[in-house]
Amino acid sequence: MNQVESMYLGFWAAVTGAVCGSFVCCMTERIYEKRTLGGRSRCPGCGHTLGVMELIPVFSWLIQKGRCRYCRERIPTECLWSEISLAVFFTAAALRFDAWNQKICAAGLGVILLAIALWDKDTYEIPGSLLAAALVWKMMFMMLFPKYGVSVLDGLLGSCLISGGLLLLSVCMDRSMKRETIGYGDIRLLFVAGFYLGLKGNFLNLFFSSLLGILMCAAMKTKKIPFGPALAVSTAFCLCYGEALIQWYVHIW
């Protein structure tokens, strides 16, 4: 792929990612607030139906400076971050993977990870349905395109050993600190991530997500944080760059 083709692909991947990010944020918000999933988007402040110009991902938020054009109600920044993060991830995945099935598999995982991060942020829970969707999505690609991505054995090892290790650690920590330290939803997410990343990739994922978790604790000045967003970001990063990072690390030693 030459430079022009890469730019073209990257541009459309970013646009698709931003649109998907906007959709996921909107749907998660509606489910969380127990609103109907159908119908046009409205301003939560004054209730006016949003027009086309107010629905352009990223740009509408920036042009309106994060507020409704009519009542000046704040538009949550999480919509903007959802659109940007999925635009970045779709672009990274589109340029990182050669095969279309890998690009699509990564994009599907990105959508589910964003939903997990948004849901966990508000509820401190990771829905089993989202984890099951991510697992079924990967299984489908493993069966249809067995030569791409991690092997079934590597996926199984990455899932069971890394999430099993974290489960053991969490049981020990729960007993010594007499409170829940690591949520079981997080352990199950790490289990699912193993099928996408393999053993080495998921080990790296555990390392990066823990690092991110510690940074989040320090930034938010609290001991209890939703770990899902950290795991989601780390899983997305490791899927695109984990292997290259491991290769680089092995070579410098």
Q: Which residues here bind Zn ion, judged by CB under 5 A?
A: 43, 45-46, 68, 70-71, 73
Residue indicated by tokens 């899902």: 228
Region of 242 (left: φ > 0; alpha: ψ -120 to 50; beta: rest) is: alpha
Toward Zn ion, which CB reaches closer, 46 or 171? 46
Toward Zn ion, which CB reaches closer, 10 or 45? 45
3-state secondary structure at position 99? coil
CA distance 55 to 50: 7
Question: Shortest approach of Zn ion to residue 51 CB, angstroms?
Answer: 12
Toward Zn ion, which CB reaches closer, 5 or 33? 33
Q: What is the DSSP letter of 53?
A: G
- Beta-carbon contacts of residue 149 (< 8 Å; ≥ 6 apart): 102, 105, 141, 142, 196
Question: Shortest approach of Zn ion to residue 72 CB, angstroms?
Answer: 7
Q: Is-contact 104 98, C-beta < 8 A? A: no
Question: Shortest approach of Zn ion to residue 35 CB, angstroms?
Answer: 16
Question: Shortest approach of Zn ion to residue 183 CB, angstroms?
Answer: 36
- Beta-carbon contacts of residue 87 (< 8 Å; ≥ 6 apart): 13, 14, 15, 17, 18, 21, 57, 58
Toward Zn ion, which CB reaches closer, 48 or 224? 48
Toward Zn ion, which CB reaches closer, 54 or 120? 54
Toward Zn ion, which CB reaches closer, 71 or 172? 71
Question: Shortest approach of Zn ion to residue 158 CB, angstroms?
Answer: 47
CA distance 169 to 177: 12
Q: What is the DSSP letter of 75?
A: P
Question: Shortest approach of Zn ion to residue 185 CB, angstroms?
Answer: 34
